[in-house]
């Protein structure tokens, strides 16, 4: 089956895969060839990865919020952001962004709901970047 991943910057990935596993809003979703059609949202808060397998080798990607369409021969992912261990990520900058966002979030009032949501996205994105890079070094 074909897996395509698209972000606002453009196409991130497009290739044939054997299996896809991703974090949906109602739990993990696994897709094989000839899966029943399904459209769902990707979890808003990042705490799990999209995994795909090609030639029995599994790749993990940190995935931001978005949508997934599963068809019998194709999985399409539209997401705000995606990171892999091969991406050029500055871990120090991500740690600094995480620290600043957490500090700013402590001072957000109830009237600033949109600001809080934006800060939570910065936190999720920074944590994903840090995890992806430190996980690759630990292997």
Supply the DSSP symbol for 37: P
C-alpha atoms less than 13 angstroms from C-alpha of 104 in its C-beta half-sphere = 18
Task: Give the per-residue pLDDT at 110.
Answer: 77
Task: Give the per-residue pLDDT at 89.
Answer: 86
The reported pTM is 0.79
Task: Give the per-residue pLDDT at 17.
Answer: 97
Task: Give the per-residue pLDDT at 38.
Answer: 92
Task: Give the per-residue pLDDT at 129.
Answer: 85
C-alpha atoms less than 13 angstroms from C-alpha of 90 in its C-beta half-sphere = 4
How do the pLDDT tens digits run along the chain, 139 residues long? 999 999 999 999 999 999 999 988 888 899 999 999 999 998 777 677 899 999 999 999 998 889 999 999 999 999 999 998 888 888 899 899 889 889 888 888 877 888 888 888 888 888 888 888 887 555 5
Task: Give the per-residue pLDDT at 138.
Answer: 53
Task: Give the per-residue pLDDT at 71.
Answer: 95
> Which residues 6+ apart lie within 8 Å of 17 measured at CB?
1, 2, 3, 52, 53, 54, 75
């Amino acid at each position: 089956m074909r897996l395509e991943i698209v972000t606002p910057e453009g196409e991130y990935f497009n290739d044939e895969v054997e299996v896809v596993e991703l974090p949906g809003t109602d739990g993990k979703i696994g897709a094989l060839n000839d899966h029943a059609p399904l459209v769902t949202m990707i979890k808003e808060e990042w705490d799990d990865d999209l995994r795909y397998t090609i030639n029995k080798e599994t790749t993990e990607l940190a995935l931001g919020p978005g949508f997934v369409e599963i068809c019998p021969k194709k999985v399409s992912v539209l997401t705000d952001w995606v990171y892999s261990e091969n991406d050029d990520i500055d871990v120090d900058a991500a740690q600094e962004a995480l620290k600043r966002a957490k500090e700013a979030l402590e001072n957000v009032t109830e009237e600033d709901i949109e600001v809080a949501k934006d800060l939570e996205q910065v936190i999720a994105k920074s944590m994903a970047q840090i995890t992806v890079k430190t996980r690759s070094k630990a292997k």
